């Protein structure tokens, strides 16, 4: 008997659009039928958002039962007791930051215990994390810590798959952070994940340079000669099909023409600008290199529109769909919960 996978879905920052996009996405019955969902969040916040914006929340059930779940079963696991006034309030708070991290911790543990096949996270905010005393600049770093792994951020959308050597850091720090070891590790992880998560047996990887014209033989910088080219050479010796360093202003066009299966970019905006320009509403953030499947919408908490009820759920829906595809490709299907706990 076919049993649908279970997705652990985190609320994100309660003051942002996370709760709203979850309700809007799961409000699509066709999406709910494809999986079971455990929504780790705040009962008070989710209910307040539903009432405020006139959204259906009747599908969120109260108690997670032991045993086998059916497609469409959706449960709210209340792990973040919060006042309803924080819901979609549109500003970072310490309480919201603490709640967001707690939801992530609980959801990761659920995946580790086999209660879910994949993790999908709604957006969190770095200022809120700082107010809460958390040192993590984002999901990627926190998940790497929780899983004792070296995570790699990949953006998927608009026909592109773009992985990052560095994530959340100042541009002035890039020259010291771009090392042969870091670039080689990223290339290796991407090659492995193309096989395991995307079903591409012999992926072709293009590697960006850091500087204009990929440094132009040292004229515009030495990171290419010092770190990027040696890493590419080492990856080739390992049997990985990769090429570069290539100028970032042409490599994405060439991927869209079918030359490459993935691009390794050097820093955050080098990747994000390309993906968000091509597919702003359905871009997905995938964390590679973890012992679990994790995706997220490729947008932030959007505090500016959070109180307005105008959030677009399509990026979260795309993240759920990609998580399901990766879980299926890896042969993951959790149909039985190992613990019983109260929800709502």
Q: What is the mean pLDDT of the chain?
A: 92
Task: Tell me, yes or no, whether 193 and 124 share the same domain.
Answer: no
User: How many Å apart are CA 116 and CA 31, to the nearest integer?
Assistant: 16
CB 101 within 8 A of CB 142: yes
How many Cβ atoms are within 10 Å of 135's Cβ, its own excluded? 9
Task: Tell me, yes or no, whether 94 and 175 share the same domain.
Answer: no
User: How many Å apart are CA 275 and CA 310, to the nearest integer?
Assistant: 22
**Count of domains in the chain?**
2
Final residue before a domain boundary, out of 251, 268, 289: 289
Task: Tell me, yes or no, whether 135 and 14 share the same domain.
Answer: yes
pLDDT at 335 over 80: no
Residues spanned by the domain of 299 = 1-149+291-344
Whole-number pLDDT of residue 71: 67
Kind plus residue range of the DSSP H or E element containing 63: strand 63-64
Task: Tell me, yes or no, whether 47 and 32 share the same domain.
Answer: yes
- Tens digit of each residue's pLDDT (9 = 90 or more) over 2-30: 678 999 999 999 999 999 999 999 999 99
| pTM, two decimal places | 0.91
Task: Tell me, yes or no, whether 49 and 174 share the same domain.
Answer: no
CB 318 within 8 A of CB 158: no
Task: Tell me, yes or no, whether 112 and 165 share the same domain.
Answer: no
DSSP string, 290-343: SSSEEEEESS---TTTGGGT----HHHHHHHHHHHHHHHHTT----EES--EE-
CATH number at residue 155: 3.40.718.10
User: How many Å apart are CA 101 and CA 171, to the nearest integer?
Assistant: 26
CB 132 within 8 A of CB 97: yes
Task: Tell me, yes or no, whether 49 and 109 share the same domain.
Answer: yes
Task: Tell me, yes or no, whether 248 and 305 share the same domain.
Answer: no
- Tens digit of each residue's pLDDT (9 = 90 or more) over 124-139: 999 999 999 998 888 9
Task: Tell me, yes or no, whether 35 and 88 share the same domain.
Answer: yes
Final residue before a domain boundary, out of 270, 289, 308: 289
DSSP H stretches of helix in the chain: 18-26, 29-32, 43-53, 94-112, 126-131, 139-147, 174-177, 180-196, 223, 229-237, 248-256, 268-278, 314-329
Final residue before a domain boundary, out of 289, 316, 331: 289
The structure tokens listed for 85 are 């006034």
Q: How confident is the model at residue 215 (pLDDT cuts 50, 70, 90)?
A: confident
CB 320 within 8 A of CB 7: yes
User: How many Å apart are CA 106 and CA 76, to the nearest integer?
Assistant: 13
Task: Tell me, yes or no, whether 144 and 175 share the same domain.
Answer: no
Q: Is 339 left (phi over 0), alpha (psi -120 to 50) or beta?
A: beta
Task: Tell me, yes or no, whether 155 and 282 share the same domain.
Answer: yes
Task: Tell me, yes or no, whether 88 and 18 share the same domain.
Answer: yes
């Amino acid at each position: 008997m076919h049993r649908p996978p279970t997705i652990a879905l985190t609320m994100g920052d309660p003051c942002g659009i996370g709760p709203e996009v979850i309700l809007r996405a799961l409000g699509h019955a066709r999406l709910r039928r494809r999986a079971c969902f455990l929504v780790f969040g705040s009962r008070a916040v989710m209910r307040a958002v539903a009432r405020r914006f006139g959204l259906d929340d009747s599908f969120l059930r109260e108690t997670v039962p032991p045993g086998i779940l059916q497609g469409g079963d959706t449960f709210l696991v209340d792990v973040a007791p919060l006042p309803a006034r924080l819901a979609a309030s549109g500003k970072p708070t310490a309480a919201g930051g603490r709640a967001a991290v707690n939801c992530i911790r609980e959801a990761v543990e659920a995946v580790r215990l086999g209660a879910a096949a994949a993790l999908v996270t709604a957006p969190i905010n770095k200022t809120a994390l700082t107010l809460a005393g958390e040192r993590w600049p984002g999901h990627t770093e926190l998940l790497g810590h929780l899983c004792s792994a070296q995570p790699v951020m990949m953006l998927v959308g608009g026909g592109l798959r773009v992985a990052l050597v560095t994530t959340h850091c100042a541009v002035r720090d890039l020259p010291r952070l771009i090392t042969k070891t870091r670039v080689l590790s990223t290339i290796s992880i991407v090659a492995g994940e193309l096989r395991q998560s995307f079903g591409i047996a012999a992926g072709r990887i293009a590697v960006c340079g850091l500087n204009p014209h990929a440094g132009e033989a040292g004229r515009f910088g030495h990171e290419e000669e010092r770190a990027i080219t040696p890493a590419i050479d080492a990856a080739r010796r390992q049997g990985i099909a990769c090429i570069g360093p290539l100028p970032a202003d042409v490599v994405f066009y060439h991927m869209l023409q079918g030359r490459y299966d993935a691009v390794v970019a050097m820093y955050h905006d080098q990747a994000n600008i390309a993906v968000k320009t091509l597919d702003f509403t359905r871009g997905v953030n995938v964390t590679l290199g973890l012992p679990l499947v994790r995706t997220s919408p490729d947008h932030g908490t959007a505090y500016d529109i959070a109180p307005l009820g105008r959030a677009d759920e399509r990026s979260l829906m795309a993240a759920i769909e990609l998580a399901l595809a990766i879980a299926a490709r890896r042969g993951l299907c959790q149909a039985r919960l190992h613990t019983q706990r109260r929800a709502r």
